[in-house]
Amino acid sequence: MGCGRLQLTLALIKPDIHGHPRLYRHLVDTVLQNRLLFVRSRVLRWSQKDSGHFYAEHEGRFFYNRLVGFMASGQMSAHILAGEHAIRRWRELMGPTKTFRAQFTHRNSIRGQFGLTDTRNCTHGADSEDSARREIAIFFPEFDAKTWWKEHSEFFKE
């Protein structure tokens, strides 16, 4: 593989598509075909409180209550992904935040193909190394990134 920056990122498969096995399968294939690796995965359901806390930066925006309710409306899954420029690449695969924009400008992205509304937009991805670290710790508090890289960075050299 090339010599890009190796990163971990945090991805969420939101409740709108979590319950759809074929879509889910397609998403997993998309990730793997793009040479991102699933490092850890778990299925969970958020309370309104967890959801509100995670999206606290959006408190007061017109979509906040809708977003918090949606994210607590059913099961979802959280994943640590690894790969070269994993943070940027997962966000590229997701497409723009707003589904209605994604459908025009990034039709092949996950949100462009499967998003239902600007809120029900399929996925989440950390947007910086700091947020990736913080979000990984929220969902996988026992995960030790340093040890993981020690044991797995060889994998990316082939």
End-to-end CA distance of the chain: 5
Q: Which residue in the set 84, 127, 149, 156 belongs to the binding site for ligand ADP (CB under 6 A)?
A: 127
Among 103, 118, 131, 145, binds ligand ADP (CB under 6 A): 118
Those residues whose C-beta lies under 8 Å from the C-beta of residue 147, and which sit 6 or more positions away, are none
Q: How far apart are CA 94 and CA 102, in angstroms?
A: 9
Contact predicate 7/86, CB 8 Å: yes
Torsion of the alpha carbons at 57, 61, 65 and 70, rounded to the nearest 10: -70
Q: Where are the beta strands (DSSP E) in the chain?
A: 6-13, 37-45, 75-84, 123-125
Q: Which residue is catalytic, options 26, 53, 124, 152? A: 124
User: Does residue 124 touch ligand ADP according to CB under 6 A?
Assistant: yes
Dig out the tokens for 96 from the structure: 């723009």
CA 32 remoteness from chain centre: 14
Q: Is 124 a catalytic residue?
A: yes
Show the binding pattern over residues 58-97: x = contacts ligand ADP (CB under 6 A), - = does not. Answer: -----x---x-----------------------------x
| Part of the chain binding ligand ADP (CB under 6 A), chosen from 33-41, 44-52, 119-127, 141-149 | 119-127
Minimum distance, C-beta of residue 79 to ligand ADP, in the bound complex (Å): 15
Interface segment toward ligand ADP; rule CB under 6 A; list 34-42, 81-89, 118-126, 135-143:
118-126
Closer Cβ to ligand ADP, 20 or 150, answer by number: 20
Please report, as ranges, the residues that interact with ligand ADP according to CB under 6 A: 63, 67, 97, 118-119, 121, 124, 127
Catalytic positions: 124
